[in-house]
Chain A
């Protein structure tokens, strides 16, 4: 069984790949100049945000093998810190996000020191429990977080460097660029992790903790390092979400749903790979949008496959929009059954099969 993962290639990325990458990035930067439709930009922003969240989780879950199902805690911490600082003290989000990162890192170290004593499913349960504690705290600490009422901001301050106005956040375009840069940054960070001692130690811990321990790897230090990197970027995603949507409450930025969705991005795309979360986002963002906006049931009815008056048609119209969690669940089952290494792993396997077939 020859290694096919690019991590094991000693030749690095080929010229073709580097050129293709640069072309894609350039196209993404030029995109808002040609497409002004705010809905399309909105979808792109969600795609970048999803990539950022998925990739952040990938570092602790995919590379280090510690399946945290409590990443909403860091997302919410970033979101809350940014908006509390903005609404109470008018501290601009590009300063607030750093405070959010600091708060999330502290939280990660506390959570890590408790939960990393546990392994496997016990770690998963503990990570869920701790995130629920954070949600409960945010819900009940009403004098700071306004509890279930949530925090609403109407204006994001104008971003100035010196006297020059960089952007006033009046359109989707500045958010597009911020989200794009964040997504590219986390992909870059993941690449760096994979090509350094960190990547080797994280993967060794994932493959066999006891073996890793006996080879001189301090499990506490390295697991916490992975969690801190992951939490910092998840927190950034939360900060970005908060200023993008301008409203947060515990049920949007801290629920268990969100933690699960963060995990799914990587699992569906392919865990422990650089492009897995990108692929996962490409699948999940349009899917969840289609389910939410009733596009699927309308499509089925308009195409004549399902009659609007029939029981099925009425059922689809009434309920499909609320069934996105169900569809997500089915998707996960399908992926786990037929593509245990995610979409990316499946495509690679098919590609190598085809290659062998031709040879």
Chain B
């Protein structure tokens, strides 16, 4: 059953089409990789799906419900959560308090929220940092904090925007393991990533965007052999 359907979504900024006529579906529990060269419209598509921009045309259907026009907070409450390419820690709050803000979306009790938050802090293995101010964390731990915070909102669908960007290979490996762990929790994930090796390893299916349009869709091994994709990345001839 499709948990997310993107139907002919377009987004125009003035005359520029950041996304044009993008359609695909995601099934429950899968990991979908979203790739494409810089400026292909990946983050714009995330913003259209999660309510930051209303799509200019087309529809986003999540869990059988039309999402167009919903604000990000409503989208989050319905069970769709996203992380940010440029991390956004709540700098003057501690790690566990950051995650509690996410958990408070599901409960009004601070005690429950703290328990829920600690659980997610353990999932991303940041328990030794729980009482540290988020603003003081190194980039690798900030990325994990982002993931813990959105997990605490109890999403059905998680959209991860370059969670491996700027990380060293060891840290990237930890994030890959984390994404695979999250899959075992039954959470569907859409992952934007530039690290081709990583994305090929974790994705069940991949959608390739180029200049705002969907260039290709398929299993990882089909995508690497697709001549159009190769051309988009390396230039033709």
CB-CB under 8 A from A348, the residues of chain B are: none
Given A215-B76, A216-B73, A219-B73, A1–B105 Cβ distance below 8 Å? no
CB-CB under 8 A from A59, the residues of chain B are: none
Asked if B20 CB lies within 8 Å of chain A CBs, one says no
Contact with A along B92-103 (1 / 0, CB 8 A): 111001001110
Interface pair B90/A211, CB less than 8 Å apart:
yes
Given A200-B101, A213-B73, A214-B72, A1–B132 Cβ distance below 8 Å? yes
Scan residues 32-71 of chain A and give those whose CB is less than 8 A from a CB of chain B.
Answer: none
Interface pair B81/A8, CB less than 8 Å apart:
no
Interface pair A8/B88, CB less than 8 Å apart:
no
Task: Indicate the member of B82, B92, B153 with the most A CB atoms within 10 Å.
Answer: B92
CB-CB under 8 A from B153, the residues of chain A are: 215-216
A214 to B100, CA, bound (A): 14
Scan residues 31-88 of chain B and give those whose CB is less than 8 A from a CB of chain A.
Answer: 50, 52, 71-74, 76-77, 81-82, 84, 88
CB-CB under 8 A from A210, the residues of chain B are: 52, 84, 88
Asked if A236 CB lies within 8 Å of chain B CBs, one says no
Question: Of the 9-residue stretches A72-80, A157-165, A201-209, which lies at the interface with chain B?
Answer: A201-209
**Which of A5, A215, A272 has a CB less than 8 Å from the CB of B149?**
A215
Asked if A193 CB lies within 8 Å of chain B CBs, one says no
Asked if B179 CB lies within 8 Å of chain A CBs, one says no
Closest to B87 in A: A211
Interface pair A3/B132, CB less than 8 Å apart:
yes
CB-CB under 8 A from A206, the residues of chain B are: 92
A188 to B181, CA, bound (A): 44
Interface pair B110/A195, CB less than 8 Å apart:
yes
Given A200-B104, A203-B90, A216–B77 Cβ distance below 8 Å? yes
A196 to B108, CA, bound (A): 8
Interface pair B101/A204, CB less than 8 Å apart:
yes
A207 to B145, CA, bound (A): 15
Asked if B223 CB lies within 8 Å of chain A CBs, one says no
**Which of B89, B105, B108, B132 has a CB less than 8 Å from the CB of A215?**
B105
Task: Indicate the member of A196, A197, A211 with the most B CB atoms within 10 Å.
Answer: A211
Interface pair A1/B135, CB less than 8 Å apart:
yes
Asked if A107 CB lies within 8 Å of chain B CBs, one says no
Contact with A along B139-176 (1 / 0, CB 8 A): 00000000001100100000000000000000000000
Asked if B178 CB lies within 8 Å of chain A CBs, one says no
Contact with B along A1-44 (1 / 0, CB 8 A): 11101011000000000000000000000000000000000000
Asked if A113 CB lies within 8 Å of chain B CBs, one says no
Asked if B222 CB lies within 8 Å of chain A CBs, one says no
Given A3-B131, A214-B81, A218-B73, A8–B105 Cβ distance below 8 Å? no
**Interface size, chain B (Cβ < 8 Å):** 35
Interface pair A213/B97, CB less than 8 Å apart:
no
Given A214-B82, A216-B77, A216-B153, A204–B90 Cβ distance below 8 Å? yes
CB-CB under 8 A from A1, the residues of chain B are: 132-133, 135-136
CB-CB under 8 A from B108, the residues of chain A are: 197
Interface pair A208/B72, CB less than 8 Å apart:
no
A197 to B89, CA, bound (A): 18
Interface pair A197/B50, CB less than 8 Å apart:
no
CB-CB under 8 A from B115, the residues of chain A are: none
Shortest Cβ distance from B130 into chain A, in angstroms?
A: 10
Interface pair B105/A218, CB less than 8 Å apart:
no
Shortest Cβ distance from A318 into chain B, in angstroms?
A: 45
Task: Indicate the member of B90, B135, B136, B149 with the most A CB atoms within 10 Å.
Answer: B90
Shortest Cβ distance from B129 into chain A, in angstroms?
A: 10
Asked if B196 CB lies within 8 Å of chain A CBs, one says no
Closest to A218 in B: B73
Given A215-B150, A215-B153, A207–B93 Cβ distance below 8 Å? yes
Interface pair B110/A196, CB less than 8 Å apart:
yes
Interface pair B76/A8, CB less than 8 Å apart:
no
Asked if A285 CB lies within 8 Å of chain B CBs, one says no
Asked if B224 CB lies within 8 Å of chain A CBs, one says no
Shortest Cβ distance from A64 into chain B, in angstroms?
A: 13
A200 to B152, CA, bound (A): 14
Shortest Cβ distance from B157 into chain A, in angstroms?
A: 13
A215 to B84, CA, bound (A): 12
Given A3-B133, A216-B73, A218-B73, A207–B102 Cβ distance below 8 Å? no
Asked if B180 CB lies within 8 Å of chain A CBs, one says no
Asked if B91 CB lies within 8 Å of chain A CBs, one says yes
Asked if A85 CB lies within 8 Å of chain B CBs, one says no
Contact with A along B111-128 (1 / 0, CB 8 A): 001000000000000000
Interface pair A8/B82, CB less than 8 Å apart:
no
14 contacts between A and B (CB under 8 A): A1-B133, A3-B131, A3-B133, A200-B113, A203-B93, A207-B92, A212-B90, A213-B72, A214-B73, A215-B105, A216-B76, A216-B77, A216-B105, A219-B73
Nearest 5 A/B pairs, CB to CB: A1-B136, A216-B105, A207-B90, A211-B88, A216-B76
Interface residues of B, Cβ cutoff 8 Å to A: 50, 52, 71-74, 76-77, 81-82, 84, 88-94, 97, 100-102, 104-105, 108, 110, 113, 131-133, 135-136, 149-150, 153
- Given A2-B132, A211-B89, A216-B104, 4 additional A-B pairs, CB 8 A: A200-B100, A213-B71, A214-B81, A218-B73
